[in-house]
């Protein structure tokens, strides 16, 4: 394998949503390079970061009925029971919730945690406080989805814009079918994704754990595991 081929195999493609941003950064870099080369090189670094931010790598998703897969890259910031947003129409009783915080260095393409049909989809404008704060679930701009599995389980997915994020871009529509690990949207520049599990389902993720969208198992609807223990270090 040549060096160029080896390098290419390690580079993830850029999602089409990022093309306008990368192009703008690149054009600005050329102008800055013409004005003053040190600024131009800073622009080159910013362009490379922009391409890195909008990367869209392939993922290897485990396929088995009942598995719930992480919908986002990032750090598992909360594993608690919480009342789901009214937009999900999942009732007013607390449900197991797993929150994954995405920093500006994480891949921001979100994926479906389960296979099923998008039964409900609701967008709500709001504030842009730090997505890692718990009040962001209620105050921030968000896009809510309910995915119904073939077995009848309903999984809530809430894409929450963050302090820097200013747009949630959906790739799917209400009524469409999705497979586990399929791309459902992205949030631009730092954000959070919450997953609401049916009552009684035990999360298989721990706070502080690093999740990989489309690959990390965060729950099992079949209840095959009674729980997991974790070691830090």
Contact in structure between 205 and 68 (CB atoms under 8 Å): no
Contact in structure between 102 and 194 (CB atoms under 8 Å): no
Virtual torsion, Cα 203, 162, 171, 81, nearest 10 deg: 20
| The pair of three-digit structure tokens given for residue 231, joined into one six-digit string | 């070691």
Q: Which of 29, 77, 115, 191 is catalytic?
A: 191
Return d(Cα 21, Cα 89) in angstroms, integer. Answer: 35
Return d(Cα 79, Cα 97) in angstroms, integer. Answer: 6
Query: 92-103 burial by CB neighbour count: b if 16+ within 10 A, else e?
Result: eeebbbbbbbbb
CA-CA-CA-CA torsion sign (68, 73, 76, 81): negative
- To the query of whether residue 9 is one of the catalytic residues in this protein, the response is no
- Please give the positions annotated as active site: 191
């Amino acid at each position: 394998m040549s060096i160029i081929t080896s390098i290419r195999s390690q580079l993830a493609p850029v999602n089409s949503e990022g093309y306008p941003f990368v192009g703008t950064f690149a054009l600005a870099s050329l102008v800055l390079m013409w004005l003053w080369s040190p600024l131009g090189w800073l622009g080159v670094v910013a362009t490379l970061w922009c391409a890195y931010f909008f990367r869209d790598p392939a993922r290897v998703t485990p396929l088995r009925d009942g598995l719930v897969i992480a919908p986002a890259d990032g750090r598992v910031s909360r594993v608690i029971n919480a009342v789901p947003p009214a937009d999900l129409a999942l009732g007013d009783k607390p449900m197991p919730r797993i929150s994954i915080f995405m920093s500006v260095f994480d891949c921001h393409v979100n994926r479906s945690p389960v296979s099923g049909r998008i039964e409900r989809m609701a967008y709500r404008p709001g504030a842009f406080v730090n997505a890692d704060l718990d009040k962001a679930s209620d105050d921030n701009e968000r896009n809510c989805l309910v995915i119904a599995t073939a077995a009848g389980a309903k999984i809530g997915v809430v894409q929450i814009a963050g302090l820097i994020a200013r747009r949630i871009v959906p790739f799917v529509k209400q009524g469409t079918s999705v497979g586990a690990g399929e791309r459902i949207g992205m949030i631009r520049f730092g954000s959070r994704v919450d997953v609401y599990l049916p009552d009684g389902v035990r999360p298989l993720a721990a706070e502080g754990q690093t999740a990989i969208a489309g690959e990390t198992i965060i729950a099992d609807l079949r209840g095959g595991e009674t729980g997991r223990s974790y070691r830090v270090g």
